[in-house]
């Protein structure tokens, strides 16, 4: 039986009288690419926000690597090995690409305000060199060496998306949450990003939970797909099985079985 890295048990979330999530449960297998799809307003980003700690669910449990983390703060979840990118870019636009990625290593720093000032006489220098080597590995992997000194805010949208992925990878995560990583990209940029997602999953052994609207990408790279609709789970399973489900066709594609038969 495949080991689960993440378990969501009956999670519900409401904002006033609006139910964003209603009793949602699922598991993510370790080492997999797990995609969450659904119409706009289905609760996809709300689910990622609950997993990452940005939102506190009204009820239910979030279990990561066998331990319940429902009440943990986002920084504590990062310490456990959880990385995150955002639908709306969250880079420091005035900083260089290198500095943005180095921010992702901050929670791994061991030196403090006492040993830090003694840079040359303490272990702080060696520690920084180790972290910079790790960052350079990520930069090489994502093929952004040519922009490493560029100011993040001056880059194209596609490159900024790649830098944000680099920062999430710099956390050294076991699980990475990607909120629409291909949104706003052209075809070539989408193909590159899909390749990077597959490679970080296979080469770095990072489990991926991804929200994505491009169904071609979802079908090509996902091991498992879950569909949300109005905050409720419709189905969770293999990509082909999910897309063949009549409820998914109605909710996500907006078509009935009769229409499909007529079109064929």
Q: So what's the pLDDT on residue 123?
A: 56
Q: So what's the pLDDT on residue 119?
A: 46
- Average the pLDDT over 202-209 and give the result: 95
Give the CB-side neighbour count of residue 22, counting CA atoms within 13 A: 11
CA distance 18 to 34: 26
Percent of the residues in the chain that have a pLDDT greater than 70, as a whole number: 86
Q: So what's the pLDDT on residue 114?
A: 46
- State whether residue 219 is helix, strand or coil: helix
Range scoring the smallest mean pLDDT among 8-22, 98-112, 153-167: 98-112
Per-residue pLDDT of 178-190, as tens digits, reads: 999 998 888 999 9
Write the DSSP string, 177-214. EEESTTTT--HHHHHHHHHHHHHHHHTS--EEEEE---
Provide the 8-state DSSP code for 145: G
Question: 97 near 163, Cβ under 8 Å?
Answer: yes
Q: Global pTM?
A: 0.86
Report the candidate in 211, 215, 218, 224 with the shortest Cα–Cα distance to residue 181. Answer: 211
- Average the pLDDT over 205-232 and give the result: 94
Q: Which domains does the chain have, with CATH numbers?
A: 1-81+173-264 (3.40.50.300), 95-170 (no CATH)
| Residue 108 predicted with pLDDT over 70 | no
Per-residue pLDDT of 16-72, as tens digits, reads: 889 999 999 999 999 999 999 998 889 999 999 999 999 999 999 999 999 999 999
- State whether residue 83 is helix, strand or coil: strand
The β-bridge partners of 228 are 233
Q: So what's the pLDDT on residue 239?
A: 94
> What does pLDDT average to over the chain?
87
| Residue 173 predicted with pLDDT over 50 | yes
Contact residues for 224 (Cβ-Cβ < 8 A; gap 6+): 28, 29, 32, 33, 34, 35, 236, 237, 238, 239
Q: How confident is the model at residue 132 (pLDDT cuts 50, 70, 90)?
A: confident
Contact residues for 113 (Cβ-Cβ < 8 A; gap 6+): none
CA distance 251 to 168: 32
Place of tokens 């006033």: 16
| Residue 82 predicted with pLDDT over 90 | yes
With 0-12 / 13-18 / 19 or more C-beta atoms within 10 angstroms meaning exposed / middle / buried, residue 19 is middle
């Amino acid at each position: 039986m495949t080991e689960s890295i993440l378990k969501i048990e009956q999670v519900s979330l409401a904002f006033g009288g609006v139910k964003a999530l209603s009793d949602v449960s699922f598991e993510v297998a370790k080492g997999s690419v797990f995609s969450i799809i659904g119409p706009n307003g289905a609760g996809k980003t709300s689910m990622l926000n609950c997993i990452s700690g940005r939102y506190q669910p009204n009820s239910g449990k979030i279990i990561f690597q066998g331990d319940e983390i429902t009440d943990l703060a986002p920084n504590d979840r990062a310490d456990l090995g959880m990385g995150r990118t955002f639908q709306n870019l969250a880079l420091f636009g005035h900083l260089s690409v290198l500095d943005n990625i180095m921010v992702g290593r901050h929670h791994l720093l061991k030196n403090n305000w006492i040993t830090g000032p003694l840079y040359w006489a303490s272990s702080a220098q060696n520690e920084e060199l180790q972290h910079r080597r790790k960052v350079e590995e990520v930069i090489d992997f994502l093929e952004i060496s040519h922009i490493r000194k560029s100011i993040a805010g001056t880059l194209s949208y596609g490159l900024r998306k790649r830098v944000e992925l680099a920062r999430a990878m710099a956390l050294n995560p076991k699980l990475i949450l990607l909120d629409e990583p291909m949104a706003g990209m052209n075809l070539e940029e989408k193909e590159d990003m899909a390749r990077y997602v597959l490679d970080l999953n296979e080469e770095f052994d990072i489990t991926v939970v991804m929200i994505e609207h491009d169904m071609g990408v979802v079908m090509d790279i996902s091991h498992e797909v879950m569909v949300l609709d109005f905050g409720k789970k419709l189905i969770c399973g293999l990509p082909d099985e999910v897309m063949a489900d009549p409820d998914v066709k109605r909710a996500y594609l907006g078509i009935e079985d009769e229409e499909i038969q007529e079109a064929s």
